[in-house]
Amino acid sequence: MTLRREHEDHTMATKCTIERDQFRKNAQAVKVEINGTPFQADVKEFSTGSFGWNLNTKVTILVDGVPVNVQVGLNLTVVGSKELPR
């Protein structure tokens, strides 16, 4: 999967560029790295009707040598997917 940066004017298209069935059939997990540790965001259809990827986990991050436990809640939502027919 390739991530695309925002347009030069710092806006992104609001129209969904993929059909819901196409996403359901073909989307794969996305590799995510947090502080050097690899994770996997799983394909998900959210209760709102949007779809994308989700990762929920806990990690430890060192701050000035002190381990700090943090909770990760990451949603990668396909822009405009909520408006697509279910």
Domain ranges of the chain: 20-83
80 close to 15: Cβ distance less than 8 angstroms = yes
Ramachandran sector of residue 81 (left: φ over 0; alpha: ψ -120 to 50; beta: rest): alpha
Residue type, 69: N
Convert the pLDDT of each residue in 30-55 to its tens digit.
Answer: 999 998 999 999 999 999 999 999 99
User: Whole-model pTM?
Assistant: 0.81
The number of C-alpha atoms within 13 Å of 30 and in the hemisphere containing its C-beta is 19
Q: How many helices (H) and strands (E) does the chain have?
A: 1, 4
> Which pLDDT does position 16 carry in this prediction?
92
